[in-house]
């Protein structure tokens, strides 16, 4: 199940009877499971991992919104600093968050190389063959893993780390919000500030931007709150209908510095 399909289905009434019983998606047990009467298992993978390196098990409970546990074909490391070799880096303890690395068999369960780009290939692996995914994850106390953010989606606001996903989750609780994406805009004083792009549902209530601002003020520390909320008609898309945040960043880069 990919986001495009889920968004399309949400625009329609759910039939009293249907044949779907199990979906696999980016997270386990999202809130939409109750609406559709379908159980969703989470998993994680990348083009570079060939298949899914972290998966949920049909017979082993996993916390809602998690992505599962390491698949048997791979080794997983979650460390505080992925610029160090895994053997030297400090591993994250249960309950903590860190950067995700994965190791498999090159050319079989892990990609061999970036074609024609030896430097990118070398930069992506530590000396022992651990691939730096560029993802941050949370290691839960039961051994499950929850996706955090792409490292490039972490903002530095006045010296404070802000995860785009944390702010997006708050915004998505506001009635009338169909989708949102938060990216950084350069700021003269704070280095970066959050800007939220919001796609509304067809029947969104009036004053949606004001509702979002008020919700963020109640639930987020001041440095995490969007400096601007932009209601848009469309969001740029990349592979599998994911939001192309790089395009949103380019749009902001063409604007004068904030502040």
Give residue-wise pLDDT tens across range 105-122. 999 999 999 999 999 999
Mean pLDDT for the stretch of residues 85-97? 94
Rounded to an integer, what is the distance from CA 76 to the centroid of its chain? Answer: 18
pLDDT for the residue numbered 253? 86
pLDDT for the residue numbered 240? 62
pTM of the shown model = 0.72
Most confident stretch, 19-28, 148-157, 247-256 = 19-28
In this predicted structure, the answer to whether residue 239 has a pLDDT above a threshold of 70 is no
Residue-wise pLDDT tens digits, 215-224: 999 999 999 9
Min mean pLDDT across 37-51, 175-189, 200-214, 239-253 is at 239-253
Q: Which residues contact 92 (CB under 8 A, 6 or more apart)?
A: 78, 79, 80, 98, 139
Compute the distance between CA of residue 35 and CA of residue 89 in angstroms, rounded to an integer.
43
**The two structure tokens encoding residue 129:** 């063959």
pLDDT for the residue numbered 10? 83
In this predicted structure, the answer to whether residue 75 has a pLDDT above a threshold of 70 is yes
pLDDT for the residue numbered 6? 83
- DSSP per-residue letters across 196-235: EEEEE-TTPPTTHHHHHHHHHHHHS-GGGS-SEEEEES--
In this predicted structure, the answer to whether residue 238 has a pLDDT above a threshold of 80 is no
DSSP state of 88: T
Computed over every residue of the chain, the mean pLDDT equals 91
Q: Which residues contact 165 (CB under 8 A, 6 or more apart)?
A: 147, 148, 149, 153
Q: What is the CA radius of gyration of the chain?
A: 20
pLDDT band with cut points at 50, 70 and 90 for residue 139 = very high
**The two structure tokens encoding residue 186:** 């350069």
State whether residue 77 is helix, strand or coil: strand
pLDDT for the residue numbered 2? 80
């Amino acid at each position: 199940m990919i986001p495009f399909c889920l968004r399309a289905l949400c625009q329609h009434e759910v039939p009293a009877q249907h044949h779907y019983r199990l979906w696999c998606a980016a997270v386990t047990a999202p809130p939409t499971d109750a609406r559709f009467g379908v159980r969703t298992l989470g998993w994680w993978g990348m083009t570079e991992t060939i298949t899914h390196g972290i998966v949920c098990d049909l017979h082993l409970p996993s916390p809602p919104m998690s992505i599962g546990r390491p698949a048997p074909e791979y080794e997983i490391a979650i460390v505080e600093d992925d610029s160090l070799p895994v053997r030297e880096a400090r591993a994250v303890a249960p309950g903590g968050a860190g950067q995700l690395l994965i190791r498999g068999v090159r050319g079989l369960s892990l990609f061999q190389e970036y074609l024609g780009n030896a430097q990118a290939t070398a930069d992506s692996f530590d000396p022992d063959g651990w691939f730096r995914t560029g993802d941050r994850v949370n290691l839960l106390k039961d051994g499950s893993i929850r996706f955090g953010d792409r490292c490039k989606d972490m903002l530095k606001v006045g010296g404070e780390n802000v995860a785009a996903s944390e702010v997006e989750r708050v915004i998505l609780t506001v009635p009338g919000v169909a989708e949102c994406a938060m990216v950084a805009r350069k700021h003269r004083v704070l280095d970066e500030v959050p800007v939220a792009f919001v796609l509304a549902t067809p029947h969104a209530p009036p004053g949606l931007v004001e509702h979002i601002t008020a919700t963020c003020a109640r639930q987020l520390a001041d440095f995490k709150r969007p400096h601007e909320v932009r209601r848009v008609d469309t969001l740029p898309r990349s592979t599998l209908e994911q939001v192309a945040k790089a395009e949103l960043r380019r749009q902001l880069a063409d604007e004068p510095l904030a502040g």
